[in-house]
Structure 1
Amino acid sequence: MPHLVILYTPNLEAETDMTALCRALADGMLQVKDEAGKQVFPTGGTRVLAYPAAHCAVADGRGDYAFVYLNLRMGAGRSAAVQRQAGDALLETAKAHLASVFEKRPIGLTVQVDESPGQVYDGKHSTLHPLFNK
């Protein structure tokens, strides 16, 4: 954790580089610091995944509308200020990446940050973390 999942309308495939957006968002997440100046999200645990919607309906269906939904899921224990900072950083990064698309077409962008309270199971196995915990 954290995991950022992006769902988007497939009509954006030809208009923007989603892999570049994923990288920019991951890099932005790694820059988020807490009140003590410590990196909030562990490098080895940061994941950004993007999926085009196989089926979608946006607004009234009378136009070639587009939509991007970002959902950040983070573990419990971070302050409200840090949660907001992470959300703001994601929103600004996505807006910058999609600026040319916003100029060309109607598009909606939503960023939602969820905390994972009350987990009943959180199993993990990773060979990524040791690469960054040196």
Structure 2
Amino acid sequence: MPHLKIDYTVNLDAHLDVPALCTALCATLTGYRDDTGKNVFPLLGTRVLAAPAPYFAVADGAPDRAFVYLNLRLTPGRPQALLDAIGAALLAEVERHLAPITTLRSIRATLHFDETPPSYEGKWASA
């Protein structure tokens, strides 16, 4: 963990480089260090996935409205100040990617953290 899942309105596909956004957000997570310089998240456990929502309604339903929802699932136990800093870094990266599109569309983005201890966690990995 962490796993970052991005859902976004399909009307962004023509304007947003989603693979670049995923890569940048993954780099933000894997590059984040705590006060001692140690990686906050394990490199091989960090994943970013994105999927367009072909069916959506945003606000009043105007066709130029768009939305990006980011949900970061992580195991609990990190200090709130660290989570706040990570959230700010992720949102700054999202803003950097969405800013050029704001002249074309009304866009909102939400980042939500879910800290949940797993009731079961199985793992499989190839060599």
Is the CA contact 1:32–1:85 (under 8 Å) kept in the aligned structure 2?
no
- TM-score after normalising by structure 2: 0.93
The aligned residue for residue 123 of structure 2 is: 124
Work out the CA distance in 2 between the residues paired with 1:125 and 1:77. 24
Residues 8, 79 of structure 1: CA spacing in aligned structure 2 closer, same or farther, 3 A cutoff? same
Work out the CA distance in 2 between the residues paired with 1:54 and 1:122. 31
The aligned residue for residue 109 of structure 1 is: 109
The aligned residue for residue 74 of structure 1 is: 74
Between the two proteins, the alignment pairs up a number of residues equal to: 127
SS at match of 2:103: helix
What percent of counterpart residues are identical? 50
Which deviates the most, 38-47 or 77-86? 77-86
Cα distance, 1:102 vs structure 2: 1.7
Superimposed CA distance per residue, residues 62-90 of structure 1 (whole angstroms, 9 cap, x where no aligned partner): 34210001111111121111111111111
Q: Any runs of at least 4 consecutive aligned residues in structure 1 with deviations exceeding 2 A, and if so which?
A: none
Gaps of 5+ in 2: none
Work out the CA distance in 2 between the residues paired with 1:32 and 1:103. 31
Cα distance, 1:103 vs structure 2: 2.7
2:19 is equivalent to residue 19 of structure 1:
yes
The aligned residue for residue 46 of structure 1 is: 46
Residues 127, 40 of structure 1: CA spacing in aligned structure 2 closer, same or farther, 3 A cutoff? farther
Cα distance, 1:113 vs structure 2: 1.4
Is the CA contact 2:16–2:101 (under 8 Å) kept in the aligned structure 1?
yes
Cα RMSD after superposing both structures: 1.3
Which amino acid in structure 1 is aligned with residue 28 of structure 2?
Answer: G
